[in-house]
Chain A
Amino acid sequence: MVGSVAVTATDPTRATHRAVEAVWRIEAGRLIAGLARLVRDVGQAEELAQDALVIALEQWPRDGVPERPGAWLMATAKHRAVDLLRRQSRYQEKVAEIGRDLEVGQAWAEPDLDDALDDHIGDDLLRLIFTACHPVLSPESRVALTLRFLGGLSTDEIARAFLIPEPTAAQRLVRAKRTLAARKVEFELPAPAELAERLDSVLEAIFLIFNEGYAASAGEDWMRPALCEEALRLGRILAGLTPQQAEVHGLVALMEIQASRTYARSGPDGEPVLLMDQDRRRWDRLLIRRGLQALQRAESLADMPGPYTLQAAIAACHARAATPEDTDWALIAALYQVLVHRWPSPVAQLNRAVAVGMADGPAAGLAIADPLTLEPALASYPMLAAVRGDLLARLGRNDEARRQFQRAAELTRNQQEQAIFRNRADRIPPA
């Protein structure tokens, strides 16, 4: 079949390969999800999809990119599925088995397979997301499977994303798929009673991916901001599939707003720039707009905001402030109070101390920060020392403040942070 789209390039084969990869990135999730509906095993579905990808890489440079690339991949994978089952002499068995499941039976029999699957594709994608993020898997395994099944990332790309060797990433994927099979995890949507917990598991995995990208500083491998983009993409996909779930929109809002600061977070020499020091003209207003819209959606869907929605609301306070002086610290402090009351966390309490320090003065902030020195989880946390140092300095308790900044400098392993803390310590005048 001659492709309907002519590709002009100096190296047409390589150009077509890149086109195949682009189609793969767009279609991988839907392809694997649709196949999983047929073979009821996500590991097998993924292998079939990969087989189709290999065939595409061989054939499309020769025959041209097909008219409907996604449908071509699905048809190719389905044929291989039938071949596989026949060779395993299980085809008749499977047909009988799935014949009992009318939907699936129809899907197999349907001549225009892609139309039949289209009706279910949202459902199937959701099943795939929930399966990849099943709680029997460790968070890292959920992350790896999600990137693989829904992101269409190669093993090498997953390895680079998490700064692990490729064989380790490969092993993680293999073990994860094996665990799902061994624990007989069904390709199903969670029962309503389990939905909240299962959704938490998905949101956690997506946020892990985002933070992996967000925590990386500029100057490193630029795969890392791409991870933020990947997490955002996954979040948006999920929001499209579960539009009534408040916390999904909350997570998307949080990620959009945090991502809006990417440009402003690094200085000219790659050094990190703190939020209060960032040039706000470099904040991406499109992402802020989208984030605020998602937040509004989240808040309209639930009476009580969940943790992601609350964190997004806090991020939105900063996003709405044209200058640091415009920041609504009282609102931020109130939001943190709700957050720590329902989901206690020492770090959130510390952030609350900062907000209260800004809204009600340093003494009020210190009253919240001081007890945290007894928190084992924060014993080596540089930010606790830095926050206390800042509050003490504002109270004129200079010697104590200097000691705290020196301690922060000792505790951090980040050279640039160290320089910032030493600098602050040096700038405090002697008592």
Chain B
Amino acid sequence: MRYLVLLKGSLSTSPPPPELMAAIMRLGEEATKAGALLDTAGLAPSDQGARVQLADGKITVTDGPFAEAKEMISYALYQVRSKEEATEWATRFMKLHRDLWAGWEGDAEVLRVFGPEDFAPPA
């Protein structure tokens, strides 16, 4: 089964330390070689994006940045055998941030991706 790990954090004024980026690349390589990481990419800050909102029957298009404190930073798609396996990879990822970018805070949300097993016909 697949899990999407979405990293969200506060927009920081300074760029991430190079040691952190190097460590993230190594972890990504490790997860890829373990056959678990299928796809991953960083997301540009919301000031380069837009929002298309549907509310009260009306559609509104707004350019970023958005008012929320947390920005979406990256995604990673894992193929694993359990939620706990995806969580373990996400935990290792967050440990790198804890150890190599003091003071940074954020959330890695681990979400299951619907797959064929969810649409299986009745047994």
Contact = CB atoms under 8 A, between A and B. Distances in A.
Interface of A: 4-5, 18-19, 21-23, 25-26, 67, 69, 218-220, 222, 225-226, 229-230, 232-237, 240-241, 262-263, 266-270, 286, 290
Nearest to A237: B35
Q: Is the interface of A mostly helix, strand, loop or mixed?
A: helix
A23 B81 CA distance: 11
A35 B38 CA distance: 29
B42 to A, nearest CB: 18
B121 A219 contact: yes
B84 interface: yes
Nearest to A69: B88
Contact of A23 (B36, B77, B88, B119): B88
Nearest to A236: B35
A235 B79 CA distance: 13
A234 to B, nearest CB: 7
Contact of A222 (B34, B35, B117): B117
A218 B121 contact: yes
Nearest to A151: B81
B88 A19 contact: yes
Nearest to A241: B33
Nearest to A289: B39
A5 B87 CA distance: 12
Nearest to A122: B33
B69 interface: no
Contacts of B82: 18, 21-22, 25
29 contacts: A5-B91, A18-B82, A18-B84, A22-B82, A23-B88, A26-B89, A67-B95, A218-B116, A218-B120, A218-B121, A219-B120, A219-B123, A222-B120, A225-B116, A225-B117, A229-B1, A229-B79, A232-B79, A233-B34, A233-B36, A236-B32, A236-B33, A236-B34, A263-B115, A267-B121, A270-B120, A270-B123, A286-B77, A290-B38
Given A23-B88, A240-B33, A286 B117 contact: no
B85 A266 contact: no
A428 B89 CA distance: 56
B58 to A, nearest CB: 31
Interface string B110-122: 0000011101111
Give the interface size bracket for B toward A. Answer: 20 to 34
Given A18-B82, A267-B121, 20 more contacts: A19-B88, A22-B82, A22-B84, A26-B36, A26-B85, A26-B89, A222-B117, A222-B120, A225-B117, A226-B1, A229-B1, A232-B35, A233-B34, A233-B36, A234-B35, A236-B33, A262-B116, A266-B121, A269-B121, A286-B38
Contacts of A235: 35
Interface string B70-105: 000000010111101101110100010000000000
Contacts of B88: 19, 22-23, 26, 69
A263 B79 contact: no
B79 A270 contact: no
A205 to B, nearest CB: 15
A241 B34 CA distance: 10
A218 B82 CA distance: 20
Contact of B39 (A230, A236, A237, A286): A286
Contacts of B95: 4, 67
A194 B86 CA distance: 38
B34 to A, nearest CB: 6
Given A25-B82, A240-B33, A270 B121 contact: yes
